[in-house]
Each structure stands twice: as C-alpha cells, then as structure tokens.
Amino acid sequence: MPQVNVSLSDQHKALITDLVESGQFHNASEVFEEGLRLVEAERNLELLKEQRLRQAVEEGLNDLNRGQFISLNSPDEISCHLRKLGAQASGRVSSSEE
C-alpha cells in the first residue's frame, strides 16, 4: 500500500500517542485504521437510515393513494389522536374502543 502523509493538530498527535502508550493500539496506523472503520460504519448507518426513510415515505404515499389515512384539522385533534395511539400502544385501550 502506498504511504499517505497527513497533517495533524497537536491535540490529535497527543491523542494518538496516548492511545498507543496506553496499549489500546500497537501503533498510529492501527489508530487510523480504527478511525476509518468508524467512519465507514457511520456512512453505512446513514445509508441504512436513508433507505428506511425512503421506504417509509413510499409506504406513506401508498397509503395515501389507497385512501388509508385520517385527516386531523386542529392541534386539539392531533393531541387527542396521539394520546389515543399512546394509550393503545401501552395496552390501556383495546382496539375495539376506537
């Protein structure tokens, strides 16, 4: 692998030194590799979140197209509906009480 040169702040240099001296990593390369693994994992998580959001939007649009929705026209109606959903979710209200 080709060598890569990077510029680090004094704070980052001290962190790398501390991580290596504490025995958590054998050398600076391992610190950078772990950092890159974390960046990759974060990117993958963001992609997964985006996929799930797109799926939820698609499901919502499909519900709208099928007419499976309710209209709430005021803050009071919204609050009442959310309280009802919360009660149903906690098992305090059976679905037959809708």
CA pair distance 3, 32, nearest whole angstrom: 13
Q: Please check whether residue 25 is in contact with residue 31, taking contact to mean a CB–CB distance below 8 angstroms.
A: yes
27 band by pLDDT with thresholds 50, 70 and 90 = very high
pLDDT mean over 21-31: 97
Give 49-82 pLDDT, tens digit per residue. Answer: 999 999 999 999 999 999 999 999 999 999 999 9
Q: Please check whether residue 28 is in contact with residue 20, taking contact to mean a CB–CB distance below 8 angstroms.
A: yes
pTM, entire model: 0.64
Nearest to 28 by CA among 15, 10, 11: 15
